[in-house]
Amino acid sequence: MSTQSAKPNIYNRLDQRVARHGKPLFRLIRELTDSIQGMPASTQELEAAVVNSLGRWSSDATQRFQPQTVLAVEHLGLLDELAQSDGEDMANQLEAQLVHTVVKLVARYKESSLVVWHGTVIPAGDVVQANAYSALNQRAMHRGFQVHEDVSKWIDGRREELSRKAAGNNPMEYLQLAEECLGIRPSSSSGEPTRLRRLFSEFLAEVSSSTEPGHAVAIQTALISTVSRSIRHAVKDGESNMAEVAA
């Protein structure tokens, strides 16, 4: 059985197998990319589109998904071999690595701005005020974006209004603006809930169901404070830039 240091290179192994059909793996991934209509809105959508051509392996034949593509046939055949030689756990690890690699390549070929991230997230039960932003951002990256991106877009769309509201440099004003950004405080110009607002709401519900009563409120307060600082810095930077232009 392979050791961790001798872990098979799943991409190279699959490349060797598909080459027997007359095309290198990167060419098949290019064709897969071209077959995806439009631009997936999230990494989950992108991964689903990839799996639709690549297939999904399982040691249980009734649970595997094998479309009739060269990629799928060779991918699943390779994993059957690896499961025999290296064990099912290793086969599952290697498939996750392969899918992640292909998703990253497809995102690059489509010139997508999606963040393709394959890290672990802080469990909801371990979220505290000190790591709340990191835990939220990890979940955002699993969905293909980062928290600061959506906060920045929200700020950019309302910079003049934010400058007026924050003109008095009152910390409470910034906290209220952060609540608007996260969807806690209603706003006449907030529009439909953004992906950040949906994520924020789901994250707090996850924390609430995994911790003691009241803990989610403390986490919410910490996140509001963090976002309010981002808004304050952005507004102040904007004021400095305008002052330089005026000068």
**How far lies 119's CA from each of 49, 135, 140, in Å?**
20, 12, 12
**Residue 95 scores a pLDDT above 80:** yes
Quick one: average pLDDT of 114-134? 86
Distance CA 228, CA 171 (A): 8
pLDDT at position 246 is 31
**Residue 126 scores a pLDDT above 90:** yes
pLDDT at position 14 is 95
Quick one: average pLDDT of 3-12? 71
Distance CA 1, CA 18 (A): 25
Least confident of 107-111, 132-136, 170-174: 170-174
Tokens describing residue 16: 């060797």
119 against 93, higher pLDDT: 93
Q: What is the pLDDT of residues 143-168, one digit of tens each?
A: 878 898 889 888 888 877 777 766 56
Quick one: average pLDDT of 102-130? 85
pLDDT at position 146 is 86
DSSP output for 125-194: GG--GGGHHHHHHHHHHHTT--HHHHHHHHHHTTHHHHHHHTTT--HHHHHHHHHHHHTSS--TT--SPP
Tokens describing residue 155: 């700020």
Q: Which residue has the tokens 């992108």?
A: 46
79 against 37, higher pLDDT: 79
Least confident of 22-36, 107-121, 201-215: 107-121
Q: Is residue 41 within 8 Å of 97, Cβ to Cβ? A: no
**How far lies 159's CA from each of 66, 133, 182, 187, 245, in Å?**
50, 23, 16, 15, 16
DSSP assigned state of 41: S
Q: What is the pLDDT of residues 45-87, one digit of tens each?
A: 888 999 999 999 998 888 899 999 999 999 999 999 999 999 9
pLDDT at position 3 is 44
**Residue 241 scores a pLDDT above 70:** no
**Residue 136 scores a pLDDT above 90:** yes
Q: Is residue 163 within 8 Å of 238, Cβ to Cβ? A: yes
For helices 10-18 and 25-35, give the axis angle rounded to 10 degrees: 90
Q: Strands, DSSP E only, in the chain?
A: none
Q: What is the dihedral of CA 199, 138, 99, 87, to 10 degrees?
A: -120
Q: Average pLDDT of the chain? A: 84
Distance CA 128, CA 124 (A): 9
203 against 192, higher pLDDT: 203
Q: C-alpha angle with apex 21: 15 to 27, nearest 5 degrees?
A: 55
pLDDT at position 226 is 94
